[in-house]
Amino acid sequence: MIRSIPLRGFDQQMAYLVTDSMASHGTNLLWQTRPVSMEKDRGHNKVVWTDSNGNLECDSFDTVLMAVGREAQTKAIGLDSAGVQLNKDTGKIIGGHGGDSERSSVPHIYALGDVLQGKPELTPVAIKAGKLLAHRLFGSATAQMDYETVPTTVFTPLEYGCVGLSEETAILKHNEDDIEVYHAFYSPLEYTVAERSAEQCYMKMICLRGSDQAVLGLHLLGPNAGEIIQGFAAAMRCNVTKEAIQSTVGIHPTCAEEVVKLHITKRSGEDPRVTGC
């Protein structure tokens, strides 16, 4: 049951490929629906929802898993009395004051993790930001948390791993004419041997157009995507360019090899399907 869009905050081309893969394996996705009620009915869970036209529908399920997200519990701890500025819609703390990513509007109050407005809701992010903050407050360090090159993976049956900007965000931050997107549909070896469909196995690299073509984002849908993206995330922290990745020797036959072989752009209109070695 999807209320609006899949994987909000992620690259939407990749998100829809994820749902396409799930649907191709038998998952029935209910689009533009909102749950209304749920009750026990002869050992099952009877769920009532509204469809995209506002009509009521219902069905019974053995198990119901509710992904309700997170809500910042900031309203009852007196932050308003202390003068801490909050986002009115989310209740999250607005950071970035005094040139410090985690500093609130009150100089001696800092926010970390999911409670910080506009930052990734990921445990490793909170841990890393907390360590960096501790070193700034109690040591001589000045390093700030880099929230733009945070790698993450959605562990759907076909993994989706990414680091950096989505294509939508890259277009918003830069002129569309200044963005180059390299992409490919590929077939992992383990899919080829087992004669499995690789229709949704896809990757794309988002770069700034220009001589060095700085990499802004990398997105990969396929087996072991998280393992692959973790390595490329380190490269992105070092301001990797398309030229540097393209000049890297690939490990054959791996999915990661297809990243260093990317050469077809969306702008060209050419067929991005990888054929042969």
25 is known as an active-site residue: no
From 174, 183, 252, 263, the catalytic residue: 252
Greatest Cα-to-Cα distance within the chain, rounded to the nearest angstrom: 66
Whether 221 and 203 have beta carbons less than 8 Å apart is answered as yes
Residue among 71, 61, 72, 69 nearest 3 (CA): 69
Token look-up 């009521």 returns 56
Residue among 190, 198, 197, 257 nearest 228 (CA): 257
d(CA 77, CA 128): 25
Sorted by sequence, the CB contacts under 8 Å of residue 184 that are 6+ apart come out as 202, 203, 204, 258, 261, 262, 264, 272, 273, 274
3-state helix, strand and coil shares in percent for the chain, rounded to the nearest 5: 30, 20, 50
d(CA 15, CA 1): 15
d(CA 16, CA 24): 12
How many CB atoms within 10 Å of residue 152? 18
Strand stretches in the chain, DSSP E: 34-41, 44-50, 56-61, 152-154, 160-164, 179-185, 202-208, 215-221
Residues tagged active-site: 252
